[in-house]
Structure 1
């Protein structure tokens, strides 16, 4: 029998209440689970991987979505967010100025102020959000069925087990199995874009690390006249007094046709890094020196960019009377140059938490879930389209200054 989140002595939870089934233990699924636990709503989290540990780690920007994340967590947790940051030793500023430079000359192109701005390590955020939850691992979703009375949903897994719930929430990322089960393999598959990036993690000597970080303590972005985009920032400042322990996270992205992506899909990490080093020879610092100094066997991984627009015709799924829905990257995977993905995903979790609390208090499930999906699809679908247009413009030197990154910064579209 699956263990349920919450405590056995929680009298506010009816023992015969079917749990909410959350598929995926990424940041969105775990944030939703924490919000439900806090509100006294039963849930179970299922994860296809064998454990929480991941081979790859990166960091994400949290800004306008921060108040929602705070509302989902136990009240006493919010101060711990500082420990999740790429440099937990530096207090978060009320406002910070982020610069964007010419990748060839290093000259400032624009700067914008926002705040508070949190740069969170994904692994640390997931570690915190997992606390107090029971996550069932090695659970690969294979099918979803619905009761004839319209009151329950059943998740079926590859190990032959199944679990009944009141609602199934697909929070299983950009290549969501839930989405493909709802829409089929053609409409539900993520959309590949003709852009790629290779991400690097590297440490340096103390002198090199101090120099590289002098450009900005958090991160720096650039567009290059050769139609490249670049990012450079911290990943982990393990010891504030020993710069040789700092890990930096950086990449150069470029227009990469789908045929090029197919032709190079078997490239090794060393080949990916060599390509990046070649790109970087034409860049200003910190990129030029960082790539020159990093070892040829530095940690590297490639990722072709993708999106999926929930507002596109034919992409609306049947929620089966409010018994199945999608959140986060499972519903609106977007490119990352405008730093909106985590904020929209956490917002989804907060709004769905509110819906499920309303259902528990006697609200009609179907119209409440319909309204949730309508708002999410409009809000986040708009951002998917904006972010893809932004990525295209940032990789076209003649249009860089017209990009949403330049015209809107990191503000959400409605502002």
Structure 2
């Protein structure tokens, strides 16, 4: 069998859902910037939270997401003049913020060589043609969600665990493959469809 675990732009999903595989575009746009901190710069920010936090200014309606992550750069971002323009725009948007939130952005180098524009997207889990139970989807491939509810990784781990449980039954000979995949998909769809929509609403609420 084939299991599509190839991410939010899943090629397997495109095969199983040729008419409805595309991600849904959100009105929320972000600019991603990775920057370095000295220990002195990091101390007041880590005092807020050592991992991540969000900040929305109620009067100027600009939104800040800060997180510590181990990342590997992929894809194309904005370079040189385009990147400098986006950094300048970010700095204009935090004029009304107080320190240390303001300093997170204001201390970004003006000549930072690389930024990444992000258009947030999602994909609520739906019914797909699983080729007579010989193909299925899991994790981001079938339920891409925005980060505002903080549950994507949890659901991806649960998907994998439940799918493995079903495949063990097939290997043991206690259930046929068709039954195992049908059981897996019957559980995953309502659970993840709902959380994708909740995450979408949380993103809209955060920017309202």
**Which TM-score band applies after superposition, normalised by the shorter structure?**
0.7 to 0.9
Query: After the TM superposition, which residues 3-402 of structure 1 pair with which residues of structure 2 at under 5 Å, given as runs?
Result: 167-184=1-18, 186-225=19-58, 226-235=60-69, 268-298=82-112, 299-311=114-126, 316-362=127-173, 363-396=175-208
Q: List alignment gaps of at least 5 residues for structure 2.
A: 72-77
SS in 2 for 1:337: helix
Following TM superposition, by how much is the alpha carbon of 1:276 offset from its aligned partner in structure 2, in angstroms? 1.6
Q: Larger radius of gyration, structure 1 or 2?
A: 1
How does the TM-score come out when normalised to structure 2?
0.86
Following TM superposition, by how much is the alpha carbon of 1:269 offset from its aligned partner in structure 2, in angstroms? 2.7
SS in 1 for 2:50: coil
CA distance in 2, matches of 1:308, 1:235: 24
Structure with the largest fraction of strand? 1
SS in 2 for 1:227: coil
Structure with greater contact order relative to length (CA < 8 Å, sep ≥ 6): 2
Structure with the largest fraction of helix? 2
How does the TM-score come out when normalised to structure 1?
0.45
CA distance in 1, matches of 2:29, 2:3: 30
Following TM superposition, by how much is the alpha carbon of 1:198 offset from its aligned partner in structure 2, in angstroms? 1.3
SS in 1 for 2:144: coil
C-alpha RMSD of the superposition: 2.1
Paired residues in the alignment total 197
CA distance in 1, matches of 2:170, 2:37: 53
SS in 2 for 1:379: helix
**Contact 1:227-1:394 at 8 Å conserved across structures:** no
Q: List alignment gaps of at least 5 residues for structure 1.
A: 1-166, 237-246, 248-263, 397-415
Superposed structure 1 runs of 4+ greater than 4 Å apart? none
